[in-house]
Amino acid sequence: MKNVVLLGSTGSIGTSTLKVVEDLLGHLRLIGLAAGNNVDLLLEQARKHSPATLSISDPAKAKQLQDALGTGTRVYAGDEGLIKLATLPEADIVLIAIVGTAGLQPALAAIRAGKDIAVASKEILVMAGEIVMAEAKKHGVRVLAVDSEHSAIFQCLDDKPASSVRNLWLTASGGPFRDKAQWPKEKFNEITVERALKHPSWVMGRKITIDSATLFNKGLEMIEARWLFDIEMARVQVVVHPQSIVHSMVEFVDGSIIAQMSTPDMCLPIQYALTYPERVGSDRVQTNFAKIGSLTFEEPDTERFPALKLARRAGEVGGTLPAVLNAANEVAVEAFCKRQIGFPQITTTVARVMEHHKVIAHPTLAQILEADTWARAEAARA
Ligand SMILES: NC(=O)c1ccc[n+]([C@@H]2O[C@H](COP(=O)([O-])OP(=O)(O)OC[C@H]3O[C@@H](n4cnc5c(N)ncnc54)[C@H](OP(=O)(O)O)[C@@H]3O)[C@@H](O)[C@H]2O)c1
List the beta bridge partners of residue 259.
249
Taking residues 35-60, report their average pLDDT.
98
Q: Among 5, 6, 9, 12, name the best residue to mutate to test ligand 1's pocket (greatest count of ligand atoms within 8 A of Cβ).
A: 12
Taking residues 355-363, report their average pLDDT.
97
Which atom number of ligand 1 is nearest to the Cα of residue 202? 3
pLDDT of residue 284: 96
pLDDT of residue 199: 79
Q: Residue 160 — φ and ψ, nearest 5°?
A: -70, 145
Q: How many angstroms does the Cα of residue 194 sit away from the middle of ligand 1?
A: 19
| Cα–Cα distances in angstroms (integers) from residue 198 to residues 15, 51, 195, 295, 305, in the given order | 20, 34, 6, 22, 17
**Helix intervals (H) in the chain:** 12-23, 39-49, 59-69, 78-86, 104-112, 122-139, 148-157, 193-196, 206-214, 216-228, 267-275, 289-292, 307-317, 321-337, 344-356, 365-380
Residue 28 burial by CB count (10 A; 0-12/13-18/19+): exposed, middle or buried?
buried
- Does the pLDDT of residue 201 top 80, yes or no? no
CA nearest ligand 1 atom 32, residue: 36
Ligand 1 site residues, Cβ closer than 6 angstroms? 8-14, 34-38, 57, 82, 97-99, 102, 120-123, 147, 202, 204-206, 208, 266
Q: Give tens-digit pLDDT for 245-257.
A: 999 999 999 999 9
CA nearest ligand 1 atom 35, residue: 36
Q: Residue 261 — φ and ψ, nearest 5°?
A: -135, 155
pLDDT of residue 147: 96
Q: Give tens-digit pLDDT for 67-80.
A: 999 999 999 999 99
Spatial separation of the C-alpha atoms in residues 367 and 257, rounded to whole Å: 39
Taking residues 44-56, report their average pLDDT.
97
| C-beta of residue 326 within 8 angstroms of C-beta of residue 236 | no
Taking residues 293-317, report their average pLDDT.
97
φ/ψ region of 50 (left if φ > 0, alpha if ψ in -120 to 50, else beta) reads left
Picking from 153, 170, 208, 204, the residue whose alpha carbon sits closest to that of residue 308 is 170
- The length of the chain, given as a count of residues: 382
Q: How many angstroms does the Cα of residue 99 sit away from the middle of ligand 1?
A: 4
Under 8 Å CB-to-CB from 164, ≥6 apart: which residues?
A: 252, 253
| Cα–Cα distances in angstroms (integers) from residue 313 to residues 122, 224, 353, in the given order | 18, 14, 13
- Does the pLDDT of residue 382 top 70, yes or no? no
- CA angle at 154 for the pair 306 and 14, rounded to the nearest 5°: 75
Q: Residue 225 — φ and ψ, nearest 5°?
A: -65, -40
Q: How many angstroms does the Cα of residue 121 sit away from the middle of ligand 1?
A: 7
Taking residues 256-270, report their average pLDDT.
97
- Does the pLDDT of residue 114 top 80, yes or no? yes
- CA angle at 225 for the pair 300 and 184, rounded to the nearest 5°: 20
Is-above-0.75 flag for pTM?
A: yes
Q: How many angstroms does the Cα of residue 333 sit away from the middle of ligand 1?
A: 15
Q: What percent of the chain has pLDDT over 70?
A: 100
Picking from 62, 28, 3, 5, the residue whose alpha carbon sits closest to that of residue 271 is 28
3-class DSSP assignment, residue 53: strand
Report the largest interatomic distance among the alpha carbons of the chain, rounded to a whole angstrom.
62
Which atom number of ligand 1 is nearest to the Cα of residue 56? 33
Average pLDDT of the chain to the nearest whole number: 97
| C-beta of residue 184 within 8 angstroms of C-beta of residue 252 | no
Q: What band does 200 get if pLDDT is binned at 50, 70 and 90?
A: confident
Taking residues 133-155, report their average pLDDT.
98
- Does the pLDDT of residue 345 top 80, yes or no? yes
Under 8 Å CB-to-CB from 192, ≥6 apart: which residues?
A: none
CA nearest ligand 1 atom 37, residue: 36
Q: Among 7, 10, 13, 150, name the best residue to mutate to test ligand 1's pocket (greatest count of ligand atoms within 8 A of Cβ).
A: 13
CA nearest ligand 1 atom 28, residue: 36
